[in-house]
Chains A and B, each alone.
Chain A
Amino acid sequence: MVMDEQKIKELKILAQRIRIYALHEFKSIGFGHIGGSMSIAELLAVLYGSNMKFNPRKPDWDGRDWLVLSKGHSGPGLYAALAWAGFFPLEELKTLNQPKTRLPSHCDRNLTPGIDMTTGSLGQGISTALGIALGHRMQRKENYVYLILGDGECNEGQIWEGVQFAAHWKIDNMITFVDANKKQLDGYTKDINDLTGLADKFACFGWYSQNVDGHDVEQIFLAIAKAKMEKGRPSVIVLNTVKGKDCCFAESIFLNHHMVISPEMADEAIKKLEEAITACECQIRNE
């Protein structure tokens, strides 16, 4: 199975677009969970630009695939993708964390069109995603549920409760990603709670595990396809990512989990991303 070159480039551009939209959100309020929103941009591009079944005019559409962003503090990243997909107007991105907003810092199923599950307390999303997957199975539905975990989040014991459960119950309609950006709030995961060999750890529990470059849309796409072919056991795709990727003021900063930023910083980062998109588009046109 191969991904069309044109499609690869489209998704690369979409990832940068998602970063830009997220930066607009952060620029409006002046702060946010920037690092972890940037590191999942390629994943979100593949999911919303290619893989997931959804209808932005009917967020509750029965036939949709579901998404649980267990690392709920990256809500702003997801909102960027949802806005691009048409779940709500782009203008609304400026309301991140404002009073009475529909876009709170952590995902809320009761506030934001397109958000399937409330998250924010790390470790809980895996369980709710498993309940959703089982619920679909019990009702003979073919919908997939996509689950996004953080690597730091894998410190939480509840994650491993879910990992055991998924294997025992042969949950194969849930595809799990770990955004392994090698950092958590206080610094590097290896310094705080070293989770080496994350994919191996899942494999030990009976999961089908893959390691991919989390910023390569083609690798992500192919990994999902392979995961979907695994019947009778759960799948995890560990994404090797960089916290703050492609955000010029965040990527090189040690502590970039949550940052306070000025409009000028946001504008500069957005400009660089726009330039990257233009370069990519030129490449597409010239081919």
Chain B
Amino acid sequence: MSIMVSNNHTKEEIAMRDAYCQTLIELAKEDPRIVAVDADVMNSMGTVPFQKAFPERSINCGIQEANMIGVAAGLSATGLIPFAHTFGVFATRRVFDQVFVSCSYAKLNVKIVGGDPGITAAFNGGTHMPLEDMGIMRSIPEMTIIEPTDAVMMKDITRKIASMYGVFYIRSARKNVVKVYGEGSTFEIGKAVFLREGTEATIIASGILVDESLKAAEILAAQGISVRVLNMFTIKPIDKEAIIRAAKETGAIVTAENHNIVNGLGSAVAEVLVENALAPLERIGSQDLFGEVGPEEYLKERFQMTAVDIAEKVKKVIARKGSDIP
């Protein structure tokens, strides 16, 4: 792991899907086993350049996600390394049994990329908003779930997972996101990144809420409150040690996820706390609500995922210290 933080709350020049596809093409040049499978959203997922570079290694199944997942599994059984792509809702909700039985239970080697996590689905609305995808995939044994924060991380983890065996779910925005990391940063899958040190509480965040959390920390610092910020980009297997340290060293936790507070990052952190190191916890995320249409900035307010919301939750959780732990 080698991290350089480079965040001034502005978006990167490169879209997440382009960073991903460029990396996939580089990997495919190095390893002839890498293949791509898609389900008629290649233009949205940014995988058309891969098809152009490797037409004989790109399979667009059409609008049939269940078959796509099974085809990926079959390709894997013959020794190839398939990367499957579709929107997050179709990559998880729609094909849960196919991922479970044909990929995970069968112990095959399939990387599944789900685009447009949570509110980033924006104008596609509630049917297309995966606010439960982490929860779904978390319930599958031996699954690895990664939510890359920005293009720098996307490039690094795509490269890493290509050489790891197993079933991986990558949950990623498709377009440009706020830059958090400096070029050349490298990451360790399963290990949270310490983005900011602090003493009174810890915000554990993933995806687009990492930048919101950093903004929240600045708001709080201006009010004399010191908070640690962790980027928990690997939701499964979760970095238990980082959570326990946060509980013991800062005494209060806020989780921040672009996902339902049920079954996702917040629930995963709660599980660790309750079994290892009690600390009051507050969860930022969709409060068990369905999604709806709107621009991302509106949806952040609607679902109480803004930096201001996070800062308020931090103050709330700090106020709970000492009062509700037996």
Q: Do A and B come from one complex?
A: yes
B57 part of interface (Cβ distance < 8 Å): yes
Do B78 and A136 touch across chains, with their CB atoms under 8 A apart?
yes
Do A124 and B74 touch across chains, with their CB atoms under 8 A apart?
no
* Stretch of B97-105, B111-119, B197-205 at the chain-chain interface: B97-105
Interface residue tally for chain A (C-beta within 8 Å):
33
B70 is contacted by which of A120, A127, A136, A168 (Cβ under 8 Å)?
Answer: A127
Do B79 and A134 touch across chains, with their CB atoms under 8 A apart?
no
A118-B106, A120-B101 as given contacts; A135 in contact with B78, CB under 8 Å? yes
CB B67 to nearest CB in A, in angstroms, measures 4
Within 8 A of A (CB), among B149-197: none
List the B side residues contacting A117 at CB < 8 Å: 73-74, 77, 106
B30 part of interface (Cβ distance < 8 Å): no
List the A side residues contacting B79 at CB < 8 Å: 135, 139
List the B side residues contacting A123 at CB < 8 Å: 66
Interface residue tally for chain B (C-beta within 8 Å):
30
Do A130 and B78 touch across chains, with their CB atoms under 8 A apart?
no
A158 is contacted by which of B59, B70, B76 (Cβ under 8 Å)?
Answer: B70
List the A side residues contacting B71 at CB < 8 Å: 127-128, 130-131, 134, 165
Within 8 A of B (CB), among A120-154: 120-121, 123-136, 138-139, 141
What is the CA–CA distance of A216 and B248 in the complex, to the nearest angstrom?
72
Do A127 and B80 touch across chains, with their CB atoms under 8 A apart?
no
A179 part of interface (Cβ distance < 8 Å): no
List the B side residues contacting A118 at CB < 8 Å: 101-102, 105-106
What is the CA–CA distance of A276 and B219 in the complex, to the nearest angstrom?
85
B64 part of interface (Cβ distance < 8 Å): yes
What is the CA–CA distance of A183 and B106 in the complex, to the nearest angstrom?
28
Question: What mask results when residues 24 to 64 of chain B are scored 1 for a CB within 8 Å of chain A, else 0?
Answer: 00000000000100000000000000000000110101101
A110 part of interface (Cβ distance < 8 Å): yes
A59 part of interface (Cβ distance < 8 Å): no
Q: In the complex, which of the residues A119, A123, A124, A157 has the most CB atoms of chain B within 10 Å of its own CB atom?
A: A124
A131 is contacted by which of B62, B72, B97, B101 (Cβ under 8 Å)?
Answer: B72
> From B77, which residue of chain A is reached at the shortest CB distance?
A132
Do A131 and B75 touch across chains, with their CB atoms under 8 A apart?
yes
CB A273 to nearest CB in B, in angstroms, measures 33
Do A109 and B70 touch across chains, with their CB atoms under 8 A apart?
no
Do A135 and B75 touch across chains, with their CB atoms under 8 A apart?
yes
Within 8 A of A (CB), among B100-153: 101-102, 105-107
A128-B73, A131-B75, A139-B79 as given contacts; A161 in contact with B67, CB under 8 Å? yes
A65 part of interface (Cβ distance < 8 Å): no
What is the CA–CA distance of A118 and B57 in the complex, to the nearest angstrom?
24
B69 part of interface (Cβ distance < 8 Å): yes
B74 is contacted by which of A134, A139, A158, A161 (Cβ under 8 Å)?
Answer: A134
A28 part of interface (Cβ distance < 8 Å): no
CB B50 to nearest CB in A, in angstroms, measures 15
A133-B74, A161-B64 as given contacts; A124 in contact with B98, CB under 8 Å? yes
What is the CA–CA distance of A139 and B34 in the complex, to the nearest angstrom?
12
Within 8 A of B (CB), among A96-121: 109-110, 116-121
> From B97, which residue of chain A is reached at the shortest CB distance?
A121
Do B70 and A124 touch across chains, with their CB atoms under 8 A apart?
yes
A162 part of interface (Cβ distance < 8 Å): yes
What is the CA–CA distance of A97 and B310 in the complex, to the nearest angstrom?
52
CB A168 to nearest CB in B, in angstroms, measures 8
What is the CA–CA distance of A158 and B101 in the complex, to the nearest angstrom?
14
List the A side residues contacting B66 at CB < 8 Å: 123-124, 127, 157-158, 161
A164 part of interface (Cβ distance < 8 Å): yes
What is the CA–CA distance of A76 and B75 in the complex, to the nearest angstrom?
26
List the B side residues contacting A119 at CB < 8 Å: 101
CB B55 to nearest CB in A, in angstroms, measures 12
A117-B106, A121-B101, A128-B70 as given contacts; A165 in contact with B62, CB under 8 Å? yes
Tell me the B residues contacting A by CB distance below 8 Å. Answer: 35, 56-57, 59, 61-62, 64, 66-80, 82, 97-98, 101-102, 105-107
Tell me the A residues contacting B by CB distance below 8 Å. Answer: 109-110, 116-121, 123-136, 138-139, 141, 157-158, 161-162, 164-165, 168-169
Known: A132-B78, A164-B64. 4 other contacts (CB 8 A): A123-B66, A132-B74, A134-B59, A138-B75
